[in-house]
Amino acid sequence: MVIATYWKTAQEVLALSPTKGAKAYLLQHFEVVFIHSNEDEVRQTWTYPMRKIVVAPWLKEIAEHEFGDTSAIYVPNGVNTQDFSAPPRQKCIRPTVGFVFSHVGFKGSDIAIEAFELLRKEIPDLRLIAFGNSWKRGLKKGPSLPKWTEYQVLPAQNKIPDIYSQCDVWVCASRSEGFGLPMLEAMACRTPIVSTPTGIAPLLAERGGLRLAPHEDPEGLALEIHHILKLPTNEWTKLSQEAYATAQQFDMEESACLFERALETVIAEQ
């Protein structure tokens, strides 16, 4: 097997001799949104004669509706439910929300921050936790975190479950996500989610533990977050358990097995 995992590697894989193995294209996003991508070349790779494996239903729909390819195999990402886990708990004494902070435009940090500022007017003691890989809190052309944010840069992997577990709500305001793994990680730590309808979020909303908010709508996002923060303890605990149960349906071991079966399918077709 040779597996392309990005549009540029797809170009290189296509050029390889058949003696190098069966070829597959793992699509983790519609990469036209990436700042350094060439849209025409990205789209061209979707037409290559390689079986596609997609990580989310919306990517399978793009393959079908925009490129006429009905053969794409859906294999969802999985979460390590041993590393990302938390015992049952109640709401925080101090209302607490969290999100992944990024200066990448399509990640929607500007939308999330505006929503948090609106929320703080209603909930003055609101606590905001964030982590990410941005070393600076603000850039001239990017969003700036509120000064009251508790922000960690590149926390150790074994510290991230504790960050999720400190929150009453985890927030994703992205304009676009290929999958949205932090949502699943937080849910595995029994934290309910509010997200825009991006990546895997619509499917998670159907299964429980996640509420959807409109794109590009800080007020709508704040409203959904406020709803969860104001839930009675017993109702919040029920939603927390729903989030946990949904995450268990995306166990990494099962995803690995599905991916292996997909590769076997590709090999059998050669």
For residue 270, the model assigns a pLDDT of: 84
What is the topology classification, in CATH, of domain 96-248? Answer: Rossmann fold (3.40.50)
Residue 131's Cβ-count burial label (10 Å; 0-12, 13-18, 19+) is buried
Sequence ranges of the domains in the chain: 2-77+251-269, 96-248
Spatial distance between the Cα atoms of 63 and 195, rounded to a whole number of angstroms: 24
Signed CA dihedral, 105, 108, 114, 120: sign only = negative
Spatial distance between the Cα atoms of 130 and 152, rounded to a whole number of angstroms: 6
Q: What is the pLDDT of residues 14-61, one digit of tens each?
A: 999 999 999 999 999 999 999 999 999 999 999 999 999 999 999 999
- Residue 60 CA to chain centroid, in angstroms? 17
Is the distance from CB of 24 to CB of 4 less than 8 angstroms?
yes
Q: Which two tokens stand for residue 233?
A: 């303890």
For residue 112, the model assigns a pLDDT of: 98
Spatial distance between the Cα atoms of 247 and 188, rounded to a whole number of angstroms: 5
Q: What is the pLDDT of residues 161-183, one digit of tens each?
A: 999 999 999 999 999 999 999 99
